[in-house]
Amino acid sequence: MSRYIARRLLQSIPIFFGITIISYLLMTLSGNPVLTLVMQPEMTQEQIARTAARLGVNDPWPIQYLRWLLGDDWMRWDADGDGIADHAFLVPLDPIGDGKPEPGTRRGILRGDFGDSFSLKRPVLDLLLERLPATLEISLTSFVIGTIGGILLGIVAAVKRGGLIDNALRMLSAIFNAIPIFWLGLLSLLVFAVQLHVLPLGDRCSLTMEETCPPIYERLQYMVLPVAMEAVGLIAGLTRLMRASMLDVIGEDYIRTARAKGLRERGIWLVHAARNALIPIATGLGPAITGLIGGSVIIEQIFNYPGVGRTLFQAAVGRDYPVVMASVIYAAVATILGYLLSDILYTIIDPRIQFS
């Protein structure tokens, strides 16, 4: 198993770089971020050009990508010892023509430097680490609730197949799979926060170094609606998948043998059938983790939740390249690990499956 995991991690390296290259290309094609950041009409073209040079967004996108990946301290050097990087490799010495080369200060993400946010002017890594706990609160909670709820409801639907409970669960699963999450979130706010006033409208405290949040048990009310909106889609999908898998397994020979031995029906469903029916569920957990990451962007924006998803949305609107690319790395790593987790769960659920 350890060799298989190591091989999968090595295979994920080119996938990771492919994701970053495509994402960076699409981001640069979206437009110049200076036009979004500079909102002062009195600024001259020279000042705007110097701002673009300082941000490093006036070079061709392959050079920008290399600088973001590897840094630019290795691209420039001080040839005459005057403290100014007056020689460069692949980096324009004088980007605006004023005779003053821009010194390189970036070290690149491969050396742990994710750069500074264009708009907030703070290290990107600090921003994401501050907001990651808020995202993990709702993502992990909704993942646990959605997985357990979907599996249990799928078993119940299979046991009661053809009955009222089975039909009701199938109908609700189809409905919640079809409803867009943003519409469902806005509707839940209208009902529970605006009309009934039983849950807060949003504005959970920010997890930053300057602000101290109360203990989690005192802010559970802020998690109810976001967690419910993320979990309901997972429950709907897993319920249908678990029901279909259970109905396939229940016709196997070992189930008939268990019945012939006189085992209780509840034990047959929960012990013998459910464990083998979980194998297809393991296949869906990897995409489910990816879906939670994508859903957190919408959910956090709707409920004003100060997590990584909301930060990514604001950065994408403001064309804050460093924050967007750091969020892409976060999502790519979570996706790769999610699919690896699915493969590992195969061997845990079914020991007969071995990876050579």
Position 221 scores a pLDDT of 84
- Name the region of 128 (left: φ>0; alpha: ψ -120 to 50; beta: rest): alpha
Q: Does domain 124-349 have CATH number 1.10.3720.10?
A: yes
DSSP lists the bridge partners of residue 88 as 76
pLDDT, tens only, 16-51: 899 999 988 888 887 777 766 665 656 677 777 777
The pLDDT tens digits for 64-99 are 888 888 877 666 554 455 555 555 555 554 444 544
- Domain residue limits, the chain: 20-111, 124-349
Tell me what pLDDT residue 168 has: 93
Rounded to whole angstroms, how far apart are CA atoms 229 and 227?
5
Q: Of 134, 124, 141, 294, nearest to 203 (Cα)?
A: 134
pTM: 0.77
Q: Which residues of 69-94 are buried (b: 16+ CB within 10 A; e: fewer)?
A: bbbbbebbeeeeeeeebeebeebbee
Q: Exposed, middle or buried by CB within 10 Å (0-12, 13-18, 19+), for 172? A: middle
Tell me the pLDDT tens digit for each residue of 128-181: 888 888 888 888 899 899 989 999 999 889 888 888 999 999 999 989 988 888
Give the tens place of pLDDT for each residue, 255-280.
888 888 887 877 777 777 887 788 77
Q: Name 123's bridge partners.
A: 116
Q: For the ranges 71-75, 181-185, 282-286, 310-314, which has the lowest average pLDDT?
A: 71-75
